[in-house]
Structure 1
Amino acid sequence: MAVREIRHYGDPVLRQVAEPITDFGEATRQLVTDLVDTVRLPGRAGVAAPQIGVSLAAFSYNVDGKVGYLLNPRIVELREPIVEIGEGCLSVPDLWFDTPRYSWARAEGVDLDGKPVVLEGDGLMGQALQHETDHLQGIVYLHRLHGEARREAMRQVRAQPWF
């Protein structure tokens, strides 16, 4: 089991746009193993590769008892309404903020064999798809907040011992 350490907000890797995966060899297989092992810990719904310090387009998920991964994901469809939903992030530990998210999402990507994979859903799955693909674009959920909510979130982040 290879549970990897989570990078915290402020780490430059979290602001980078992740590179597409082009080599599906042993290094990518190990990355997927690490992502899946890391997301299996209790209370985790998703882990993106940048959160473990790897700027590649991959994430794992653990939603409703289903654990998996997606390589080179992209959101292909979002459905309204947009709802404010309590959201947290392993890279922003112990803080939760209401974040605007579409109520349903569909993502497409590939597996380790390069075969197409489609993930879709509402609720936690829809939220996780948006949250994890954001990480791959260098976006942390705090960047989705606006106005006073964002100012308050950043004030709380600056007060954290990990920041």
Structure 2
Amino acid sequence: MAQQDSGGQQVTEETSASEFIDDTVDADEREKAHRERGTARPITVVGNPVLHKRCKDVERFDDDLLRLVDDMFASQRAAEGVGLAANQIGVDLRVFVYDCMDDQGVRHVGAICNPVIEDLPADRRVLDDSNEGCLSVPTAYAPLARPDYAICRGQDLEGKPIAVEGTGYFARCLQHETDHLDGYLYIDRLSKRDRKDALRQMAEGTPRYETVPND
């Protein structure tokens, strides 16, 4: 997910409290270690087939996965993003990384394999219609209503079950990146008019980072 254009939560019954991780501890050191081991790769953009299909589940939690995650952190930093899914660097696997502030200014850093966003009860679905952007739709932004609270369940890099909860901007990031791995871009959730406008913004803009041209 691209950077933005200009409270405690209860654990739901679907997720065990023991699965929740604290992704705020040593955030700077962990992100830096991943990034310095990795190599930045160019970003795929809308129209690339890998972005428009459901990615394959991660089944092998091995050194190849660790190297991929290192490259993803390096690529995310090079593109000045706050979240990055594997298919955004052309890899057909269900894993995303994030380095994202929540609305309280707390930094969250982590990686989630095989993510699933939990369904929220109706009384928890408070929508936030802030602007959203995407590294795969460079230079474009559009308002998009999403719940301002999210729980994302999945596995860590060793295959252990984990859950992450987010509010505000970080909740948007978790939903945005999971969408990527399901084969959806945020512009797919817009009206036809707003989608057309986002694509116009992209066509008129110049990415600040290297992208993969669509043949």
Under a length normalisation based on structure 2, what TM-score does the superposition of the two structures give? Answer: 0.70
CA contact (8 A) 2:137 2:199 kept: no
Alpha-carbon distance in 1 for matches of 2:138, 2:205: 9
AA in 1 matched with 2:118: V
Higher fraction of strand: 1
CA contact (8 A) 1:100 1:145 kept: no
What is the CA-CA distance between 1:25 and the residue it aligns to?
Answer: 1.4
Asked if residue 25 in structure 1 is aligned to residue 62 in structure 2, the reply is: yes
What is the CA-CA distance between 1:36 and the residue it aligns to?
Answer: 2.1
Alignment of 1:41-80 (within 5 A): 41=78, 43-64=80-101, 65-78=107-120, 79-80=124-125
CA contact (8 A) 1:50 1:56 kept: yes
Specify whether residues 109 and 76 from structure 1 end up closer, same or farther in structure 2 by C-alpha distance, changes over 3 A only. Answer: same
AA in 2 matched with 1:7: T
AA in 1 matched with 2:115: P
Larger Rg: 2
1:136-162 CA distances to partner (integer Å, 9 max, x unpaired)? 011000001014222322444455576
Alpha-carbon distance in 2 for matches of 1:68, 1:139: 21
Task: List structure 1 runs of 4+ shifted beyond 3 angstroms.
Answer: 40-43, 154-163
- Counterpart of 1:152 in structure 2 is 197
1:6-43 CA distances to partner (integer Å, 9 max, x unpaired)? 11111111101000000111211111111222223473
Alpha-carbon distance in 2 for matches of 1:61, 1:155: 27
Asked if residue 121 in structure 1 is aligned to residue 170 in structure 2, the reply is: no
What is the CA-CA distance between 1:74 and the residue it aligns to?
Answer: 0.5
1:106-152 CA distances to partner (integer Å, 9 max, x unpaired)? 00111111111111111111000110000001100000101422232
Alpha-carbon distance in 1 for matches of 2:109, 2:154: 16
CA RMSD of aligned residues (A): 1.9
Equivalent residue of 1:87, what SS?
strand
Which of 128, 135, 138 is matched with 1:93 structurally?
138
Which of 163, 186, 189 is matched with 1:141 structurally?
186
- Counterpart of 2:12 in structure 1 is none
Alpha-carbon distance in 2 for matches of 1:156, 1:38: 23
Aligned residues with identical type, % of pairs: 38
Query: How many positions carry a matched residue from both structures?
Result: 163
Alpha-carbon distance in 2 for matches of 1:134, 1:42: 19
Q: Which has the higher contact order (CA 8 A, sep 6+)?
A: 2
Gaps in structure 1 of 5+ consecutive residues: none
